[in-house]
């Protein structure tokens, strides 16, 4: 992948920021589950909250390839930090693609500057991967809608000031997706309760919440695109960008685990020589490096297709599936290379091992990705078209 001078400078700036300001504090803050207030302020200053926003609204309008590279670098140092940025950028993507001109002008500049940060409210206690099964409703009442229901697993749910909410505006619609709509909601109106923060295995440093809506009032002008029944398509397109960034996070975690393992393997000695000279360890390192490189190529291929404005759910599904499974495998293999030290909190490997499973589940489970891939392959290679 050949980057222009500006793109190279952006990536170099991000790497320098991560190396100097994030890496020295990441382990301790992650163990304390501490929200990185100062680091987030620096991310605002660097323009990262507007990375995928068009320049007309103050954003950097980066290509999805560079966008993926940024998420890879952040997740390599601290995966939780990537989560603070990830859902926000998906919200920006949906508004930029499907919002009315008035919505774009009203919301994108403040999101770009990080003055208000976004969270996406899709999953529910009874609907995660299958978003058509949501029960949250939005009923029109004059110049506003009343939203009722609950949302689960909402990253940034407590600190985000703006919410993208997936609802049913027509419970009787067939097919079901034609009755689904999305709204941009700003906190402040009565009827929204953040009921709890979910205590997680990993993915520390940011909150994951359950939200309850009881006659939560949202102006009708905040219906994304201005038309009911368009929400499912809007969210599915937004999830393409989310799966690119989740895949890139997987690549970052895999890289981090591999880099720690290969460094440690050259330092640790058993039976009179460094363990990197034992064939058993060499095989692990070779497999890890090969799968990391394959993950990178899959991600870049999907990102380049999205940059061309083409549907890329097949390529994104493959990239997300492979890169996140690679992250899980590399985290475990790195722990094995470290032996007992890999299980200790003195070393970062145990953190990668705790973070990796979220990537397999989040952004659509990998079981779903396999179904999406198979469905698209059957369409692509249909014998009826031959």
pLDDT single digits (tens) 316-357: 999 999 999 999 999 999 999 999 999 999 999 999 999 999
As a whole number of angstroms, the distance between CA 211 and CA 193 comes to 6
Check 30, 124, 240, 242 and give the catalytic one: 242
Question: What integer pLDDT is reported at residue 226 of this predicted model?
Answer: 97
Q: How many domains does the chain have?
A: 3
Say what the pLDDT of residue 2 is.
82
Asked if pLDDT for residue 385 goes beyond 90, the answer is no
The pLDDT tens digits for 119-166 are 999 999 988 778 899 999 999 999 999 999 999 999 999 999 999 999
Whether 386 is in a domain gets the answer: no
Q: What is the pLDDT of residues 182-194, one digit of tens each?
A: 999 999 999 999 9
Would you state the pLDDT for residue 84?
Answer: 95
The pLDDT of 9-21, averaged and rounded, is 97
Q: What is the pLDDT of residue 81?
A: 95
Question: Could you tell me if 251 and 130 lie in one domain?
Answer: no
The confidence score (pLDDT) of residue 249 equals 98
CATH number for the domain harbouring residue 277: 1.20.140.10
pLDDT in tens, 81-115: 999 999 999 999 999 999 999 999 999 999 999 99
User: Which pLDDT does position 386 carry in this prediction?
Assistant: 56
pLDDT of amino acid 210: 97
The domain of 369 spans 233-380
The answer to whether residue 385 sits within a structural domain is no
| 330 & 203 share domain | no
- 240, 366: one domain: yes
- 131 and 227 in a single domain? The answer is yes
309-to-60, 63, 91, 306, 321 alpha-carbon distances in Å:
18, 11, 18, 5, 22
Q: What is the residue whose two structure tokens read 């419970």?
A: 171
Report helix, strand or coil for 140. Answer: strand
Task: Kindly state whether residues 242 and 370 are assigned to the same domain.
Answer: yes
How far apart CA 298 and CA 11 sit, in angstroms, is 20
End-of-domain residue from the set 50, 81, 112: 112
Residue 31 lies in a domain: yes
Q: Are residues 68 and 130 in the same domain?
A: no
| 238 and 154 inside one domain | no
C-alpha span between 347 and 237 (Å, rounded):
38
Residues 243 and 362 in one domain: yes
Lowest-confidence pick of 165-169, 357-361, 381-385: 381-385
243-252, 284-293, 375-384, range with the lowest pLDDT: 375-384
247 and 190 fall within a common domain: no
pLDDT above 80 for 1: no
% of the chain with per-residue pLDDT over 70 = 99
Domain boundary among 77, 112, 147: 112
User: For residue 326, what pLDDT is reported?
Assistant: 98
Annotated catalytic residue 242 = yes
CATH number of the domain at 147, please: 2.40.110.10
Same domain, yes or no, for 228 and 242?
Answer: no
The H or E element containing residue 90 is helix 79-98
Cα→Cα distances 351→35, 183, 200, 207, 330, Å: 16, 35, 12, 17, 12
**Contact assessment for residue 253 and residue 356, using Cβ atoms and an 8 Å cutoff:** yes
Give ∠ CA 368-174-150 in degrees, rounded to 5.
60
Same domain flag for 358 and 246:
yes
Looking at the fold, whether 205 and 312 belong to one and the same domain comes out as no
pLDDT of residue 184: 98
Within-domain flag for 171: yes
Domain boundary among 87, 112, 137: 112
CA distance 268 to 244: 36
């Amino acid at each position: 992948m050949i980057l222009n001078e500006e793109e190279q400078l952006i990536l170099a700036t991000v790497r320098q920021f991560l190396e100097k300001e994030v890496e020295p504090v990441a382990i301790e803050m992650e163990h304390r589950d501490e929200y990185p207030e100062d680091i987030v302020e620096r991310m605002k200053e660097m323009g990262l909250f507007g990375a995928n926003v068009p320049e007309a609204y103050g954003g950097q309008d980066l290509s999805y390839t560079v966008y993926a590279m940024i998420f890879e670098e952040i997740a390599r140092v601290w995966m939780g930090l990537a989560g603070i940025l990830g859902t926000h950028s998906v919200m920006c993507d949906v508004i930029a693609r499907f919002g009315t001109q008035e919505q774009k002008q009203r919301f994108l500049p403040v999101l770009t500057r990080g003055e208000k940060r976004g969270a996406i409210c899709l999953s529910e206690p009874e609907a995660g991967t299958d978003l058509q099964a949501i029960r949250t409703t939005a009923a029109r009442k004059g110049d506003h809608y009343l939203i009722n229901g609950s949302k689960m697993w909402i990253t940034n749910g407590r600190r985000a000031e703006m919410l993208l909410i997936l609802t049913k505006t027509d419970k009787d619609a067939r097919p079901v997706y034609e009755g689904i709509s999305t709204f941009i909601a700003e906190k402040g109106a009565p009827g929204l309760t953040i009921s709890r923060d979910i205590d997680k295995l990993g993915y520390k440093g940011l909150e994951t919440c359950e939200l309850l809506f009881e006659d939560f009032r949202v102006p009708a002008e905040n219906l994304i695109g201005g038309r009911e029944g368009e929400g499912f398509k809007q969210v599915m397109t937004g999830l393409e960008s989310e799966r690119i960034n989740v895949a890139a996070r997987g690549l970052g975690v895999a890289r981090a685990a591999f880099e720690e393992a290969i460094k440690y393997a050259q330092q640790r000695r058993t039976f009179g020589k460094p363990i990197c000279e034992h064939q058993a360890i060499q095989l692990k390192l070779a497999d890890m490096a090969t799968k990391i490189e394959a993950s990178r190529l899959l991600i870049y291929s999907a990102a380049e297709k999205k940059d061309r404005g083409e549907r890329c759910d097949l390529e994104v599904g493959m990239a997300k599936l492979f890169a996140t499974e690679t992250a899980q495998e590399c985290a475990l293999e790195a722990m094995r290379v470290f032996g007992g030290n890999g299980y200790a909190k003195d070393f970062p490997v145990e953190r990668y091992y705790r973070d990796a499973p979220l990537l397999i589940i989040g952004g659509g489970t990998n079981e779903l990705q396999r179904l999406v891939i198979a469905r698209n392959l059957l369409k692509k290679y249909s014998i009826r078209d031959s």
